[in-house]
């Protein structure tokens, strides 16, 4: 995808970025491409700061409803910038980690969903990021690993307590304790990712865009509330408590908006809904 197919009008100016490229491949869809190919898209301190601003902008900007994150070159993201980390160690400085985790995504809650389009190597912090994404599409040549134990460190950016809920205890232990690499098909079999597509250039992003377009066409209010309901279950809230919170906290906010009325009215009138921007 070499050019935007949608020219948005923003209420809030997009943040500037040195290590990521922002584009808009479809209406309401933001594409973030990590852009340090020589470093396998490892994220340094400045890169974390950039991504923190980008995710905040996504949630605040009315013209956007969903984001896709991918990488330039042969890697999605190979994790932390170890050269920077080594320099911090030499200077006896603690390497900072944003409160929202690696890439400000591995512990992000946020309002709007994020799809990972994994185009290649997805190691360490890169793998921590996709574990907390809402959906993951991978190229057939993509590879996944939590190799921190091989370097004497630990995946502390949110992956360890989350991945067990995705793949189960035995497989989570296998990834965390061996550090071995999973090919894309095995990751899909484990439930770590949604689907595997071909390895032609741009194919994985195109597949992610198709998913994003389906989400962006739905009621933005209903997407936000539905996402909250799924997140509560995944984060350990019991089914009954999660349902109570959904019906007592979130559903009244949905009912107070225009989109729930518009969706029903459009169905009765046999037309496409004209959604308003989410106020939740």
DSSP string, 63-103: T--EEEEEESTTEEE--B-HHHHHHHHHTT-PPP--TT-GG
Residue 195 near residue 165, CB atoms below 8 Å:
no
Contact of 267 with 261, CB cutoff 8 Å:
no
**Alpha helices for the chain (secondary structure H):** 45-60, 82-90, 125-131, 159-167, 169-178, 184-190, 203-216, 220-234, 239-245, 251-255, 259-268
Catalytic residue, from 50, 148, 241, 277: name it: 148
Q: Tell me the three-class secondary structure of 197-234, residue by residue.
A: ECCCCCHHHHHHHHHHHHHHCCCHHHHHHHHHHHHHHH
Written as six digits, the tokens of 67 are 């984001």
Catalytic residue among 128, 203, 217, 240: 128
Are the C-beta atoms of 188 and 195 separated by less than 8 Å? yes
Q: Is 148 a catalytic residue?
A: yes
Active site residue ranges: 128, 148
């Amino acid at each position: 995808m070499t050019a935007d197919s949608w020219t948005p009008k923003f209420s809030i100016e997009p943040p500037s970025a040195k290590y990521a490229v922002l584009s808009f491949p479809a209406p309401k869809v933001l594409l973030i491409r990590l852009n340090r190919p020589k470093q396998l898209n490892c994220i340094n301190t400045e890169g974390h700061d950039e991504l923190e601003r980008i995710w905040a902008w996504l949630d605040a900007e009315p013209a956007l409803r969903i984001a896709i994150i991918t990488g330039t070159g042969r890697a999605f993201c190979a994790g932390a910038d170890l050269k920077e980390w080594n320099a911090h160690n030499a200077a006896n400085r603690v390497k900072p980690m944003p409160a929202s985790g690696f890439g400000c995504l591995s512990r992000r809650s946020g309002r709007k969903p994020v799809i990972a389009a994994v185009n290649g190597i997805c190691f360490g912090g890169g793998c921590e990021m996709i574990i907390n994404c809402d959906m993951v599409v991978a190229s057939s040549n993509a590879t996944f690993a939590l190799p921190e134990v091989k370097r004497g460190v630990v995946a502390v950016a949110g992956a360890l307590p989350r991945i067990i809920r995705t793949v189960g205890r035995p497989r989570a232990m296998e990834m965390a304790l061996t550090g071995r690499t999973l090919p894309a098909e095995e990751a899909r079999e484990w439930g770590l990712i949604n689907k595997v597509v071909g390895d032609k250039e741009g194919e994985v992003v195109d597949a992610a865009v198709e998913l994003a377009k389906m989400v962006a066409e739905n009621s933005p209010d209903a997407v936000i509330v539905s996402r909250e309901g799924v997140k509560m279950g995944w984060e350990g809230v019991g089914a009954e408590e999660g349902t109570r919170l959904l019906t007592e906290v979130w559903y009244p906010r949905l009912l107070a908006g225009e989109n729930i009325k518009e969706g029903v009215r459009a169905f009765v009138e046999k037309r496409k809904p004209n959604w308003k921007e989410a106020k939740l």
